[in-house]
Amino acid sequence: MKKIGILNHHISHVISTMGHNDMLAIGDCGLPIPDETQRIDLALIKNLPRFIDTLKAILLELEVEEVFIANETVEVSNDTFEEIKKEIGDVTITLISHEELKDKLKKCKAVVRTGEQTPYANIILKSGVVF
């Protein structure tokens, strides 16, 4: 049995196979996930698991050099945006439209669907390198 880190084998596998510039998304329960992108569905009930808790867990294992966040997150769910900024530290934030974010999901290795019901609680993490 795995002793530390992410226990979900789907998320663990995706992270362990990611290379530089590969992308992984975390989304609220309403984010439309393209058919061609792997869906890792964690949603249980309303707000479980939470988006921010899922982000925190993934950030423990994934080296991130840039994140993509929708402008709408800043405008509509600013508290979520502030929580994201706190968790990612000095990682570059690129703001794009929600439509652009949804289009980028096609290029992600996977989308982790949470139970979050805060509007626009979505992020794309671009993998960095540890050296």
Domain ranges of the chain: 22-127
Residue 13 designated active-site: no
State the chain's mean pLDDT as an integer.
97
Q: Rounded to whole angstroms, how far apart are CA atoms 63 and 115?
A: 24
Over residues 96-131, the pLDDT tens digits come to 999 999 999 999 999 999 999 999 999 999 999 999
Specify the pLDDT at position 2.
85
Confidence label for 20 from pLDDT (cuts 50, 70 and 90): very high
Selecting among 9, 10, 13, 20, the annotated active-site residue is 20
What does the pLDDT look like over 44-102, one tens digit per residue?
Answer: 999 999 999 999 999 999 999 999 999 999 999 999 999 999 999 999 999 999 999 99
CATH T-level topology, domain 22-127: RbsD-like fold (3.40.1650)
pTM (2 d.p.): 0.97
Binding-site positions for substrate read 28, 98, 120-122
Q: List the 123-127 sheet strands across, edge first.
A: 38-41, 110-113, 23-27, 123-127, 64-70, 92-96
